[in-house]
Amino acid sequence: MATLLKLIPHLFAWFGIVLIMLRGFSGRRSSVMLAGMIGFVIGVTGTFILFRSYPGSVTFGVVKSVLGMSFILLWGCSVVAIYRSTDRAKVMSWGKRLIKTPSTAIIASCLAGVGAGAVCTCRLSAATTDGVAMASVLLLLAAGAVAYIALAFEKRMPEAFKVSPAGMLAIVTALLLFSASSILRLDLFSPLSMKVMKGVHDFVHQFMESILIPDHLFVRSYIWKTIGLLFSKEVGFWGGMVIWFTPAILIVLAIQFERLPAVAHIRQGAQRRRVLVDAIRARRYRALIPVFALLLLAAATYQSCFPSVEYWDPKPLPVTAGSSGEIIIPKKGEINLEDGKLHKYIFRQGVKEARFFVLMTPAGELTVDLDACAICKPDGYGQAEGSVICYYCKTLIPLETVGKPGGCNPVPIPFTENGDSVVVDGLTLINSWSATVQATARVKEGGK
């Protein structure tokens, strides 16, 4: 029951999707309703089968890719919409014909249902295996009831409330992204901002390497400070915001740039004014949908930046090395290293120190890693919902990949298992931590 309660925001998103699809294809309510429910069933069933057949990381990756493709499609549609608003509608007349075909309404409704059903099933994956099967049946019943409520609500909406094709895609995509943003492993905004940050970092780095200018001899400190600003996570955040909101903003502008109908042939002034007033009112109604999509995208951004998830982030426990320089950590005792949770430690050697953690992966293998990666500042990691998260850039790393080098993954440390203990070389740990921290702080140090 607790898991089903968590589905309320997702069912709200499903309600909005059905409502908008019915309004957008108002002449085909029955086929749109049926196609949407069939798509929802396919999404739930297909995602459930994926969870049963493959590791969770594969299933989340597939659903996340589908959401990403819908966002790319929204980008393309927004560009077409702004292009049409420049009075080139004749060139794009094929688009109008495509929207009016019955197959378009059925396919669009089915695909929207597949996405909504897949996201809901990913939320159910937090339950037990048997619980997911029963909860999936209850989910389908609830989704059917919500769809019929949306149908009854849509019939009572004013006829003047119209939905443009671009606005319909914007709100459906925004509802899916809003629904997915509450699931850490489906969130798209944090990976997007991280990619922007990494892209800027790589561009600046390659540019500085290509001009072959020695750092401290020719580059002044204020230039290094500017470069340090470009390497910060704020650049990734604001760059991600631009990419995130631009499609919906373009659609709003495209609606506002639409030309009003020609009234020169109408002789009566009152009738001309009436035609213009009706056209302006209809344009404002159509603009409401992409504006509401902007609000949903803003809510998704907030959920991504401030997720309502309590991360498992234990306080690092101090450890010491023996006479041989080895750190020995028992697998069981006060702390059970094989319980699947992240266990942090801190090792000090003179004025130097290093943070690391031990974790049992879903494959049943122990891994020892620095509480830092080779890209970001060493803000550390937390654990939640089958993944660990980098606190600096909010990147999610599936538990299945922890212990593997590269990207934002924690830097792995060589270790051995000696009976009931994990053994780590203290000098190797200190050197790895120092090299990692020095590499990620290189630009900041250059500006001093």
pLDDT at 302 over 70: yes
pLDDT at 216 over 60: no
Percent of the chain with pLDDT over 70: 88
Domain 317-446 part of CATH 2.102.10:
yes
**CA contacts within 13 A on the Cβ side of 212:** 0
Radius of gyration of the chain (CA): 27
Structure-block tokens of residue 291: 């504006």
Plot region of 212 (φ>0 → left; ψ -120 to 50 → alpha; else → beta): left
Per-residue pLDDT, 294: 96
Per-residue pLDDT, 263: 75
Q: How many CB atoms lie within 10 A of CB 59?
A: 23
Which amino acid is it at 203?
Answer: F
Q: What whole-number distance in Å separates Cα of residue 73 and Cα of residue 276?
A: 33
Which run of H or of E encompasses 349? strand 343-349
Cβ pair 192, 180 in contact under 8 A: no
Which amino acid is it at 115?
Answer: G
Domain definitions of the chain by residue range: 2-192+233-305, 317-446
Structure-block tokens of residue 234: 């704020």
What pTM does this model have?
A: 0.77
Task: Return mean pLDDT, the chain.
Answer: 84
Helices 129-155 & 102-124 angle (0-180, nearest 10) = 140
Q: What whole-number distance in Å separates Cα of residue 360 and Cα of residue 342?
A: 8
> In this predicted model, which residue has the larger pLDDT, 298 or 59?
298
Apex CA 157: angle with CA 77 and CA 250, to 5°?
A: 20
Report the range out of 109-118, 372-381, 406-415 with the highest average pLDDT.
109-118
Which residues in 95-241 belong to E strands, given as ranges? none
Report the range out of 20-34, 86-100, 284-298 with the highest average pLDDT.
284-298
